[in-house]
Amino acid sequence: MKVLVVGGAGYIGSHMVKMLLNANHQVITLDNLSSGHRDAVIGGVFVEGDLADNDCLYRVFEEHKPDAVMHFASFIQVGESVRKPDIYYRNNVTNTLNLLDIMLKFNVKKFIFSSTAAVFGEPDYVPIDEAHPNRPLNPYGRSKLMIEHVLADYAKAFDLRSVCLRYFNAAGADPEGQLGERHDPETHLIPLILQAASGRRENIQVFGRDYDTPDGTCIRDYIHIVDLCSAHLAALDYLVNGGESDRFNLGNGSGFSVQEVLDAVQKVSGKQVKVIDGPRRDGDPARLVADAKRARSVLNWKPVFTDLETIVKHAWQWEIKCLDRASKVSA
C-alpha cells in the first residue's frame, strides 16, 4: 500500500516509516521539520511541508495518491499546552481538519490517529480501558479528544474509517540502533535519566515521592516504540479488512514507578545517576496504566518488548550513539 506518514521525521513517526518499509509498503513522509529530523527518515519519499499549507497538501495527494494516512504530527507537551493553548488547538485540531479535508477530496478513507492517555485525565480506576470516561485535564489532551470526536462524526457522515490509538508512555528505541528519541527540549523521564547516566545532564529530578504508590513515586505504563508501531501496522490491516472506526488503548498493562525506572537505568548502564527529590509536577496522576486487551483481541496486536529492562537497554544504546555523535562534532 501507499501510506502517507505525516510527522514521519519525529520520534514515533520515524520508527513507523522504518517498519512500513520493512513490511514492503510504499511510504511518503510529510514533515515540516519543526521538531523532526530529516536524517531520521530512512527511506521512501520525503516532502518538507506543513499541514497549514493547503497547496502543499493538494500537491502531495495529487502526486502520490496515498491509500491510507497515519498522522503523528502534533505538539505533545502538556505544560506548554496550558501556557499556549492557541498553538495547540491550531496545530493539533485545525491542521488535522485540513488533512481530513484533503483526504475526503481525494477519496482517501483510511486514517490512523495518534491519540493519548491524556484523553482520560485523572483515572477513576486502573488499568484504564476504553470505556473509562474522558475528562482531559489540559489543552493537549482536549485537542486530541476533539479529533477523536471529529473522526467518529466523519465515519458516520463520510464513511472515513479511522483508528485512534491512545498511547500511554512511548519509550525505547529501534533495537538495531538506527533510530531513537531526539526531542529538544527533552521532557520525558527515560531519556532524561539516560542523559544523566551518560553525563550529558548533571542530574535528574524526581517529581514527588509522596504519592499513594508502594514507593511513593508515580507509576506509568511504558510501551516500547516498536510495539507501538506494530499496533499501527495491525490497525492498517484492520482498516484494509473492512474494520469499523474504533479507538484502542496502547500500553503494556504493567506499570513501573519513577524509582523503578531509575533503578533499571542504573542497572542497564552500570552508572550511578545523581537524583534530586523535587516537588510534584502539576497535573500528574499517581498511576496511569493501560488495559490494552482490546488492541490484542480486535487488532490482533502482539507486543514483544514488554519488560522495562529491554526498553531501557534499547534507549541506552541510542543514548550512547548520540553521545558519540556529539563528541565527534565537538572534536
Q: Which residues bind ligand UFG (CB under 6 A)?
A: 76, 78, 116-118, 140, 169, 187-189, 192, 204-207, 218, 220, 258, 281, 284, 288
CB of residue 169 vs ligand UFG: minimum separation in angstroms?
Answer: 5
CB of residue 262 vs ligand UFG: minimum separation in angstroms?
Answer: 9
Measured CA to CA, the distance from residue 28 to residue 26 in angstroms comes to: 7
CB of residue 258 vs ligand UFG: minimum separation in angstroms?
Answer: 5
Shortest-Cβ-distance residue relative to ligand UFG: 218
Nearest to 60 by CA among 98, 14, 86: 98
Find all residues with CB under 8 Å of 176, minimum gap 6, and list them.
none
CB of residue 98 vs ligand UFG: minimum separation in angstroms?
Answer: 22
> Cell 488547538 maps to which residue?
89
DSSP classification of residue 118: G
Measured CA to CA, the distance from residue 227 to residue 304 in angstroms comes to: 7
Q: Verify whether residue 238 is a known catalytic residue.
A: no
What number of CA atoms fall less than 13 Å from residue 110's CA on the CB side?
21
Q: Which three cell numbers stand for residue 308?
A: 522495562
Nearer to ligand UFG, 43 or 279 (CB): 279
Are 191 and 319 within 8 A, CB to CB?
A: yes
Are 67 and 1 within 8 A, CB to CB?
A: yes
Q: Which three cell numbers stand for residue 298?
A: 480486535
Catalytic hit among 140, 167, 211, 238: 140
Nearer to ligand UFG, 47 or 261 (CB): 261
Nearer to ligand UFG, 69 or 76 (CB): 76
CB of residue 60 vs ligand UFG: minimum separation in angstroms?
Answer: 27
Nearer to ligand UFG, 138 or 317 (CB): 138
**If you count DSSP H runs as helices and E runs as strands, how many of each does the chain have, helices first?**
11, 14
Measured CA to CA, the distance from residue 313 to residue 69 in angstroms comes to: 31
Nearer to ligand UFG, 182 or 220 (CB): 220
Find all residues with CB under 8 Å of 182, minimum gap 6, and list them.
11, 37, 40, 322
Catalytic positions are 140
